[in-house]
Amino acid sequence: MNLLWLLLGPGNLRQGRWALTLLGGLLVLLGLMFFLDSLGMVTELALEAFGYILVVLGLFRTAFAIVGTGGGMPVRFAAQGLALMLLGIGVADFPDTSNQAVPWMFGVAFLVNGIYQFLTALVIRYPRWGWFLVSGLVHIGLAFGMFLYWRQVMPMVIPVLLGGGLGVLGITALRLAMRLRNFNQAPGEMGPADRLRYFMTFHLPHRFQRDDYALPELPATLGTPHGDLLVHLWSPTDVARLDNPDPSIMRYIMAQDGDGKITVGHAAMEMSPDVYMSHCDGDPGGYEDGGEAWRELRSKDGHGVFLPSFEEEIEHYLQPSLTLRFRNFREDQVRTFWHMYRQITTYNLTNRNCSVVVALALEAAIMGSMAGTSRTQSMFRLLLSRDLWVAHFLRWKAIEMVWTPSMMRDYALVLHRLVEA
């Protein structure tokens, strides 16, 4: 889980590199074994293992739904977890019968995922959306292939997909190990530029990366006195001044005021005396109608502006709906990230909006804040925290879709509970 490692920080990079290399090699060999079906009973064993994996996933999803209240998490998680457990028990206990159902199960999964990828890429059109479009079509094609030729593919589905999945995980681990070769310093020896480069390499989602990001020089204010880190959030319903808003659409996406203007809210970050992050397209008040908002949702670059201070923000806007105060953070990571990010003024409602810069800056600020004296103890303590799983869910959905101020609000709240407890 990327968020877990972000909170724990870099750690022993040299030791981590060799551990990733060993894990990656093992996963690749295991994947090849399943893929080639070199052992006589691999298919049957893989089918039973697949059933138990479904049971474990179902248990995790059900537990997540029970303990992870809040954060906009859908209540259907509990039903999904129960369904996965029942399906897994059936697959593990009746492998011969389940073997005939496996192509249909994977076919349905490929079909749903393919349609989702296709429609998301077509509507939002974030960077490299064409590849997601093609990926969606490939998934749909695989689904129909399994539906039409399920008898022929029945003995191959588990070895090929399980082996291929393990192989991809192994290759990913090996790629991460190779990228770690660029970081030979001990954690205490990493300077602000090295830590930012580490954050950009391992924790910045690929969707938000740009080729023109660069750190020309370190900010002159590094190490100077500073205030707390403040996250200011304006919800769409408060900006639109609605008394009885819809709790879902209007809260998380957009709201329409009495004049018919559409607003998506706003987010900003402040660290006095020299850092104020407020990125907008020149009109934080909103869009003239739903059609304009829908057109802007499709990822495209436009001219953006950075407001210089909180005082100027509220002079032309309104008081924030919520302000969160962080004290457990690193000022050098905040200043270095902001010095790099503000070099480019480009605004993009999908990939470089007000909530994106606040989400990325907050993650850069708290990177390593939960390492503690023992990384192992900190890791298990975080894994047992429901806030970590809620934050992971929110981050995952925002990366898949769009960071909005209301989603940023929920994300900042759970991160605040994690790092400020």
Query: Can you tell me the mean pLDDT for 130-155?
Result: 82
The pLDDT tens digits for 254-292 are 666 666 666 778 899 999 999 999 998 765 445 555 555
The pLDDT tens digits for 327-367 are 999 999 999 999 999 988 888 888 888 999 999 999 999 99
Half-sphere exposure for 284 (CA within 13 Å, toward CB): 26
Cis before residue 219, ω within 30 degrees of 0? no
pLDDT of residue 71: 41
Residue spans per domain, the chain: 2-180, 191-200+209-419
Report the distance separating Cα 236 and Cα 28, nearest Å: 47
| Lookup: tokens for 141 | 């094609």
Per DSSP, the residues of 298-344 read S---B--EE---HHHHHHHS---SEEEEE-SS-HHHHHHHHHHHTT-
Report the distance separating Cα 120 and Cα 130, nearest Å: 11
Of 202, 207, 208, which is closest to residue 190 (Cα–Cα)? Answer: 202
Alpha-carbon dihedral sign for residues 346, 352, 355, 358: negative
The pLDDT tens digits for 199-217 are 988 888 877 887 777 776 7
- Please report, as a single letter, which amino acid is at residue 338: W
Confidence band of 298 (pLDDT split at 50, 70, 90): low
The pLDDT tens digits for 21-68 are 888 898 888 888 777 764 555 556 666 776 777 788 777 777 766 655
End-to-end CA distance of the chain: 21
Which one has a higher pLDDT value, 371 or 187? Answer: 371
Pairing type for strands 305-306 and 279-280 reads antiparallel
- Please report, as a single letter, which amino acid is at residue 256: Q
Confidence band of 80 (pLDDT split at 50, 70, 90): low
Confidence band of 235 (pLDDT split at 50, 70, 90): confident
Of 3, 72, 35, which is closest to residue 166 (Cα–Cα)? Answer: 35
Report the distance separating Cα 201 and Cα 336, nearest Å: 15
Report the distance separating Cα 187 and Cα 10, nearest Å: 6
For helices 129-148 and 95-124, angle between their N-to-C axes, nearest 10 degrees: 150
Q: Do residues 361 and 411 touch, judged by C-beta distance below 8 A?
A: no
pLDDT of residue 346: 86
Report helix, strand and coil shares of the chain as percent, to nearest 5: 60, 10, 30
pLDDT of residue 186: 66
pLDDT of residue 72: 43
Residues in the chain: 421
Share of the chain above pLDDT 70, in %: 74
Q: CA-CA distances (angstroms) from residue 56 to 69, 85, 164, 250?
A: 20, 7, 20, 36
Which one has a higher pLDDT value, 395 or 19? Answer: 395
Q: Going along 193-241, which residue ranges are E strands? A: 229-234
